A and B are shown apart, each in its own frame.
Chain A
């Protein structure tokens, strides 16, 4: 998927993560901040990159401000931000496909 315009999903509440995606040209540029960085930073990075790959996002600037979100929350927030950036309405979301 193409990141067409900047979009955001999620909040800064505890146990959530706020994801911002913006158009980019140099592959995935990830900026990560987390309240559980020392224990989960690499796992968060892996989860975010896997989710972007599954959605076929090749180029984007992605900013993650994590407040201790579980993996399922991270995935959902990344998916939501990507679809918002592509103006995808509900009927365009590949339920059961890339979004599982």
Chain B
């Protein structure tokens, strides 16, 4: 069945009331029955929940084959916990048919690819999938199609019981002996622990894995002891060098800076750019550099930013400290400046993934967002964006908060160079739709700006400010004139991944790629 972005969704996926994507805000006003976990009572006072090893914790709490284990990705490419837990479950306890439900997975998790090939891990639910895991899933080696969700779609699915978590593993930079966790104060700090919060509330069992045990009570706790069954102390939960990079630097690349300046100009041309406006930006070159130019416009008009959300990095913390932004609310930290600032700098707060972006709660932060600046691997002439699959059709990205912020914000700006190497970023049809075009408003490239025809109000803003813009079709043609028109990718029928829209409908599927022949 074709959905609202023109993608053909196979019928076998449309069971138990599952629908295809119908356009944004389709689920508005509907009621949701929340799921609840089955949790164990610890009525008799416990001095401590410390358990010797992950394997012991799994045994004591009754881990079985066929269960779903959840993880959060604040330790990013430095994470050791996913591999450590899966190794204990599979190699020490001999468990099979396991599903991993993670907020994201990355290059640090290459070893999981082996467990997929051995058939021990049979399900993957995640936002990001990259590296060897992306390759084996793309090759059709995972027993069930991977489910890809946005950062807001994930807590929605957990709360709705679409994913039932048997065991949540919390990678905690610090914990006390009963499981009050924080993202700071240890040796592998990550700052915000926002993605772990819904898991801890909805999982049957919660196991904290830490490498820095601190005195009780570890306050203010990101994950609270009232939800935790066991605490395991290990040598190291991650490689600090890969958890948080050194300060994110603003690009010096003149092409990035030109695009960033145009992004700021577009923002400043709209009526939403006024005292107290709200803003989110990614950490990619031109997205981050937009901060710099935006600050100039803010100074010129003597206005301040009310609040900023998102994955946070140093330059935003810098603006908070200078008093140019009122509050920063933080679901994840990208660099050490942000890690060291959360809950330390006044008005730098932590939030959960649900509070950030869940479309099914009563009002996530993204719904109040004025502007978001995002990158894209590809964007097509329907303004649909792909941030998941590469030009070879292989899974190597993450929707993250892209679809959530695009849908919630008043102005969603995509900034990307027109071509990357020989890849046309602006193209006829994206490989996979990860953010639907009805949520994307403006495209800024190094060869021109295009506005979504769904937003005549923004077209008028740009015209009034004298900002030149062109049709997205003309940008696509320009791109193809530079790099040549690409051949269409060739697919087999087998679905290797299902791309869920943030509201739970099906936005797209990724199929197995056909072996390529030169003839």
Contacts and interface: CB of A to CB of B under 8 A. Distances in A.
A21 B343 CA distance: 61
Interface of A: 14-15, 30, 32, 35-43, 45, 67-71
B6 interface: no
Given A42-B518, A71-B484, A36 B489 contact: no
A36 B519 CA distance: 16
A39 B518 CA distance: 11
Given A37-B392, A43-B484, A67 B489 contact: no
A69 B487 CA distance: 16
Interface of B, helix, strand, loop or mixed by DSSP: loop
A45 B516 CA distance: 13
A38 B514 CA distance: 9
Nearest to A30: B518
A59 to B, nearest CB: 20
B489 A38 contact: yes
A14 B393 contact: no
15 contacts: A14-B421, A15-B422, A30-B518, A36-B422, A36-B423, A38-B487, A38-B513, A39-B391, A40-B484, A40-B486, A40-B487, A42-B519, A45-B518, A68-B422, A70-B484
Interface string B400-432: 000000000000000000001111000000000
Contact of B516 (A38, A43, A71): A38
Given A38-B513, A41-B518, A69 B391 contact: no
Interface centre among B391, B393, B422, B516 (most CB of A within 10 A): B422
Contacts of B490: 38
B518 A40 contact: no
B84 interface: no
B483 interface: yes
B506 to A, nearest CB: 24
Given A36-B423, A37-B516, A71-B484, 19 more contacts: A35-B421, A36-B392, A36-B421, A37-B392, A38-B489, A38-B490, A39-B422, A40-B486, A41-B487, A41-B516, A41-B518, A42-B519, A43-B484, A67-B421, A68-B420, A68-B422, A68-B423, A69-B422, A70-B422
A14 B417 CA distance: 15
Interface residues of B, number: 18
Given A38-B391, A70-B482, A43 B487 contact: yes
A70 B479 CA distance: 12
Contact of B489 (A14, A32, A39, A68): A39
A45 B484 CA distance: 14
B421 A38 contact: no
Contacts of A69: 422
A14 B422 CA distance: 9
Given A15-B421, A15-B422, A43-B487, A36 B482 contact: no
Interface string B468-506: 000000000000001110110110000000000000000
B516 A40 contact: no
Q: Which 7 A-B pairs have the closest CB atoms?
A: A68-B421, A39-B486, A68-B422, A38-B392, A15-B421, A36-B422, A45-B518
Nearest to A73: B422
Contacts of A14: 421
B138 to A, nearest CB: 12
A40 B484 CA distance: 8
A32 B392 contact: no
Given A32-B518, A36-B391, A42 B487 contact: yes
A32 B516 CA distance: 12
A14 B419 CA distance: 13
A15 B483 CA distance: 11
A74 to B, nearest CB: 10
Contacts of A35: 421
A55 to B, nearest CB: 21
Contacts of A68: 420-423
A35 B391 CA distance: 9
Contacts of A67: 421
Nearest to B427: A39
